Amino acid sequence: MVGLGRGWKVRAGPEYSLSLGVSITNAAKASPRNADFEMNEDLISRLRAGDEAAFSLLVGEYQGRLVRLARSFSRNESVIEEAVQETWLAVIRGIGRFEGRGSLQSWLFSILVNQTRRLASKEKRHDETGNPGTPNPNLTAEPRGDPDEDEPGLNVRGRWEAPPVPWGLEDPESFLLREETLTVIQKALSTMPEGQRQVVLLCDVEGVSPEEACNILGVSGTNQRVLLHRARARIRRALDAYLGAKPTGESGPKRRGG
């Protein structure tokens, strides 16, 4: 383990924002997704040139996201912390050789996934024998038809017995941006099977393309599609349960007879 400090203590000064602010602001205007930020070639060339401001911006942008992704592989906080630190060190060592064939974001996530798997399996070997770097079996095994993954409202003939009920949202967009809603989604993410969580975090939360997600996680396209859909279906059910339990209010649902 490399002895990096635990806290993130140095504030990125205003000059950093100024030096890269224009390109990033323009990227953000074009699209709120992160892809524009990380695809910034200017940022990559500044990193290669040893621009500390560019590195601070990159760390500021991705630190929390790397931690979130690492948590989908391990619940051990020291493994997560070390994996993220090792990822940044690998970036420092490897940015000069980064060829830019894939996106910078995918490269970062690939390093993190490999580091977390390696460290998590090393940790596991303290308790049992295992192979280092073994991918999650939930991901490598092809998903099969699982009756538990069926929508609960469907009957044995595959038709709705209890069809979905309207959520009755007056303004779905503002509902989705509410902190309470995001907490419901986060909670559902934390309780779903690992394989589903990893795929949905990459594809929907981080906006990584399906092909890149397959490469990062080492899964087939079929597996990625099945896991992604199951994860999304769980989020839908979590929102449905939340809205069903919520009393009818100003922006609340009008449903299920009350």
Residue 125 C-beta: closest distance to other proteins, Å:
28
Nearer to other proteins, 152 or 249 (CB): 152
Write out the H or E segment, with its range, that includes residue 227: helix 221-245
Q: Side-chain half-sphere of 158: how many Cα atoms within 13 Å?
A: 0
Closer residue to other proteins, CB minimum distance, 59 or 215: 59
Instruction: Please give the size of the binding site for other proteins, defined by CB under 8 A.
Output: 64
User: What's the min distance (Å) between Cβ of 233 and other proteins?
Assistant: 7
Q: Give the burial class of 87: count Cβ atoms within 10 A of its Cβ; 0-12 exposed, 13-18 middle, 19 or more buried.
A: buried
Site string for other proteins, 34-73 (x = CB under 8 A): x--------------xx-x--xx--xxx-xxx--------
Asked if 244 touches other proteins (CB under 8 A), the answer is no
Beta-carbon contacts of 215 under 8 Å, excluding residues fewer than 6 positions away, are 102, 106, 110
**DSSP character for 132?**
T
Q: Which of 7, 247, 257, 258 binds other proteins (CB under 8 A)?
A: 7
The encoded tokens of residue 155 equal 């009957």
Task: Please give the Cα distance from 23 to 37 (Å, whole number).
Answer: 8
Pick from 12, 19, 36, 254: which binds other proteins (CB under 8 A)? Answer: 12
Q: How far is the CB of 243 from other proteins (least distance, A)?
A: 10
Segment lying near other proteins (by CB under 8 A), choices 111-119, 120-128, 131-139, 150-158: 150-158
Residue whose C-alpha is closest to residue 252's, from 168, 164, 165 = 168
Q: What angle do CA 12, 67, 27 make, to 5 degrees?
A: 55
- Side-chain half-sphere CA neighbours of 40 within 13 A: 24
Question: Under the criterion CB under 8 A, does residue 33 sit at the interface with other proteins?
Answer: yes
CB 104 within 8 A of CB 38: yes
Q: List C-alpha distances in Å: 69 to 65, 142, 209.
A: 6, 22, 16
Identify residues 203-242 at the interface with other proteins (CB under 8 A).
204-207, 225, 228-229, 232-233, 235-236, 239-240
The residue (of 76 and 209) whose beta carbon lies closer to other proteins is 209
Positions touching other proteins (CB under 8 A) are 2-5, 7-12, 32-34, 49-50, 52, 55-56, 59-61, 63-65, 85, 88-89, 92-93, 150-151, 153-154, 157-160, 163-167, 172-173, 176-177, 181-182, 185-186, 200, 204-207, 225, 228-229, 232-233, 235-236, 239-240
